[in-house]
Amino acid sequence: MGGDKGATLADVAERAGVSPSTVSRTMRGLSTVSPATRERVERAARELSFSISRSASSLVTGRTGRVAVLVPNLESWFLGAALAGMAPALAAEGLDMLVYSVTTPEERARFFDRLPARRNADALLVVSFALSPEERERLDDLGMPLVFVSQHEQDRPSVYVDDAEAALRGTRHLLNLGHRRIAYLEPADASGFAWSSRARLDGYRTALAEAGIEPDERLVRQVAEWRGPSLDAAVGRLLRLEEPPTAVFAETDDIAFRLLTVLRGANVAVPGRMSVLGFDDHAMAAAWDLSTLSQPVRRLGREAVEVVRSVICDPEAGHGLHVVLPVELVPRGSTGPAPESRS
């Protein structure tokens, strides 16, 4: 029967001359098995090419060996990069990754009604997902560790960047270049899937207040779809203002890329007439010569795995744990002195 791929736990027990329960205890690594018996069982398992299945293991250990990840979509570069950071880190820990991309309102309602992660994983990573109070309560009912990624949860383990401080620095960069009319473009989603931090808008406003600039809410524009007509219309309204902005801070690089395309199509020189600043440091940001605020996205994913590993082993270990990663300003060719500041 050596090398039989269909070998069962009972087969291993027969080969080793022990009971099936002894094989189970051995496979679980329990100290109640003597060294001599353990060696016999392990030798028999090797000879029979036997390995305990993930589902069987979960019955005896209470763990599935999987980590669930909840994301609002799989389209954004940021979310893809975060998952790319998580996957190898989880694999190195012997953990599988189960991704729930909850995109539509219907999918959202179904997910929080059924909570499939309850049965399928040992922990849940919530990535850039704006939760309602009711949804947060439902996740609490899972009875499993939760780790929040790219969002700060006061009393929960979280891995994130300081969005407000980063946006403050980005806006100061534009102010230092002489810009006083600085617009801000933020994503808007009526379905409640807006994943970018509102803290970035707070940082922008704080920087303007520090500079003694009166807020002009006409300069803050929401774009429902960064690839479609909503952004084009927002840019048109900004350019038609009696005093149009000389710089635009886009909340994400995805928005900034589309903005650059629209401005060039309208023969608005960048940065001669309009400076553009993004946020993320998208993989294509350098190719677009886009000035941006660089957050370590893949590292966010890796650090989240470190935290989730800790809380799986000890759910109390991560209570209130916050890992804050740095953001760096990367000035490139899309930002320059304000037109009135040029000599």
Residue extents of the structural domains in the chain: 9-61, 66-161+297-325, 163-295+328-341
User: Which residues of the chain register pLDDT less than 70?
Assistant: 1-6, 28-31, 51-62, 189-197, 225-228, 315, 317-318, 341-343
Answer CATH for 66-161+297-325 from 3.40.50.300, 3.30.2350.10, 3.40.50.2300, 3.40.50.1100: 3.40.50.2300
Note the pLDDT of residue 44.
Answer: 87
What's the distance, CA 111 to chain centroid? Answer: 19
Confirm if 186 and 221 have CB atoms less than 8 A apart. Answer: yes
Please indicate whether the domains covering 66-161+297-325 and 163-295+328-341 agree at the CATH topology level: yes
Answer CATH for 9-61 from 3.40.50.300, 1.10.260.40, 3.30.70.2390, 3.40.50.720: 1.10.260.40
Note the pLDDT of residue 150.
Answer: 92
**Terminus-to-terminus CA distance in the chain, angstroms?**
87
Note the pLDDT of residue 155.
Answer: 82
Note the pLDDT of residue 143.
Answer: 78
275-280: strand order across its sheet: 220-223, 182-187, 247-250, 275-280, 291-294, 328-330
Note the pLDDT of residue 248.
Answer: 98
Q: Cα–Cα distance between 247 and 235 in angstroms, integer?
A: 12
Q: Cα–Cα distance between 111 and 100 in angstroms, integer?
A: 9
Q: Cα–Cα distance between 191 and 266 in angstroms, integer?
A: 31
Note the pLDDT of residue 272.
Answer: 96
The architecture CATH gives domain 163-295+328-341: 3-Layer(aba) Sandwich (3.40)
Rounded to two decimals, the pTM is 0.78
Note the pLDDT of residue 241.
Answer: 96
